Amino acid sequence: MAGDTGMAGKVALLLWAQTLGLAGAQTTQLLVEPPWTPAVQWDRVTLTCQGLGTASATTWYKDGQQWEQNRRDHITASESGTYTCDRPGSGRSPPVTVLDDRLVLQVPARPLLEGDTVTLRCRVRQVLSVSTVRFYQDEKDLGGSLRGTELSLSPLQLHHSGRYHCRGSVNLWQSQSAPVTVTVHGVPLSGVSLLTQPPGGQVALGDRLVLSCAVAAGTGPLSFTWHRGGSGAPLSSGPHLELWNIAENDSGQYHCRVSDGNSVAESVPLNVTVLVPVANATITPGPPAHQVHTGDPVTLRCSVQVGSAPVTFTWLHNRQEVARGPILELGNVDVGHSGTYQCVATNQLGQDGHRVFRALSPELALEVTPQGHWNTGGVIQGHWDCRTPE
């Protein structure tokens, strides 16, 4: 168990260094085991120096003076004082204090993050006893503790930062610990993402789209701004962006930017695509009429002027469905192919394709005459058949 505790303490201090940006700066770190600060002499404290270079390059200092010539990366602090270590490649570490006072207030030697649970403990030398312990923050009396010698701060808030000390009766004599500084850090921003309602980045023309900015970790107060494309000017502020009666020019990449006053994080851009209903379906060759001889090959093509893919096409002959697809191949026609032809273009938009739009082309009058005979009579006129999208 002692080995597990030691490893946990080292990991905690390494995370502390990374959280505060020290690891990135490649500074020397001094790890303490057991992981409490200030350390106390009667705990048989082990100090480990971590930095650039080899362990044999470590130089130790106590109270500002070089201490111990055996160049190792760890030592046992058998005396009270202030310890530092030095590595040639990363410099001297922050100090670690080891006390041998009658009464000592200890704080966990790890980063204290907002929302955590932290216990402060008021301790005396092993041969002594303490009673009626009280805790103080910036001289404000916090009262006693149900556990006698421990004070729990849960959950940690930024206002818990300050200087703490404890007082107690040690062998019937009143004693006070040295002050200890407690610094509560806000949780770094991370995991910023976008949520959409309806889900996905595709929305039909005229619909409503709501974008929400979600933060996996980070402490408030948080501020939100919304941006589109590479524009630096914000579209809006707040955790939500609502696009009402969305237009085709609302398509683009959107992202949110979050700030906690110290750092800024951005979401991955979301590509918003505004889907357009089909409109202006036409047939080639164009209406109103087309004359051919029996045996001639006839090919009709249907297209739309606007409409988001996928678009499906259905062919009508005399108002009856005869084929599907953008091209209608009639092959060698006969008199039975005469009549009116129309194509119906359809696309389904919105989440799960719940909105269906249709565009009906003008009628094409196809007249098939026997070889050598042309109908020179009047031409059948085409007409528009307008239908309201479902």
Whether pLDDT at 126 is above 90: no
pLDDT at 372: 63
pLDDT at 48: 95
Of 287, 277, 295, 276, the C-alpha closest to 343 is: 287
pLDDT at 135: 95
DSSP lists the bridge partners of residue 377 as none
Residue whose tokens read 């091209």: 327
Q: What amino acid occupies position 334?
A: D
pLDDT at 21: 40
Helix/strand/coil (H/E/C) assignment for every residue in 151-168: EEECCCCHHHCEEEEEEE
3-state SS class at 5: helix
pLDDT at 240: 96
User: What's the pLDDT tens digit per position in 293-318?
Assistant: 999 999 999 999 999 889 999 999 99
pLDDT at 277: 92
- Looking at the chain, how many residues does it have? 390
Whether pLDDT at 173 is above 70: yes
Cis peptide before 155 (omega within 30 of 0): yes
Q: Element (H or E) spanning 100, and its range? A: none
How many angstroms separate the first and last alpha carbons of the chain? 70
Strands 184-185, 112-113: pairing is parallel
Alpha-carbon distance of 170 to 384, in angstroms, equals: 101
C-beta separation of 238 from 271 below 8 A? no
pLDDT at 147: 64
Whether pLDDT at 390 is above 50: no
Report the topology of domain 2-185: Immunoglobulin-like (2.60.40)
User: What's the pLDDT tens digit per position in 251-266?
Assistant: 999 999 999 888 899 9
CA trace torsion 9, 11, 16, 17 (10° rounding):
120
Q: Where in the chain is the domain with CATH 2.60.40.10?
A: 2-185, 190-273, 279-369
**Percent over 90 (pLDDT), the chain:** 59
Alpha-carbon distance of 225 to 348, in angstroms, equals: 33
User: What's the pLDDT tens digit per position in 264-297?
Assistant: 999 999 999 899 999 999 999 887 888 899 999 9
pLDDT at 236: 92
On average, the pLDDT of the chain sits at 85
CB atoms near residue 278 (< 10 Å): 23
C-beta separation of 283 from 300 below 8 A? yes
Give the HSE-up count for residue 353: Cα atoms under 13 Å, Cβ half-sphere.
Answer: 7
Give the model's confidence band at 205: pLDDT under 50 very low, under 70 low, under 90 confident, else very high: confident
- The pLDDT of 321-332, averaged and rounded, is 94
Give the HSE-up count for residue 105: Cα atoms under 13 Å, Cβ half-sphere.
Answer: 25
Q: How many helices (H) does the chain have, and how many strands (E)?
A: 2, 38
DSSP lists the bridge partners of residue 36 as 108
DSSP secondary structure letters along 20-75: TTHHHHT--EEEEES-EESEEGGG-EEEEEE-SS-GGG-EEEETTEE--SS--SEE
Give the model's confidence band at 378: pLDDT under 50 very low, under 70 low, under 90 confident, else very high: very low
What token pair was written down for 79?
Answer: 């005396």
Whether pLDDT at 16 is above 50: no
pLDDT at 376: 44
Report the topology of domain 279-369: Immunoglobulin-like (2.60.40)
Q: Which CATH class is domain 190-273?
A: mainly beta
Alpha-carbon distance of 8 to 301, in angstroms, equals: 73
Alpha-carbon distance of 263 to 44, in angstroms, equals: 40
Give the HSE-up count for residue 90: Cα atoms under 13 Å, Cβ half-sphere.
Answer: 23
User: What's the pLDDT tens digit per position in 27-84?
Assistant: 899 999 999 999 999 999 999 999 988 888 899 999 999 987 667 899 999 899 999 9
Total-model pTM: 0.54
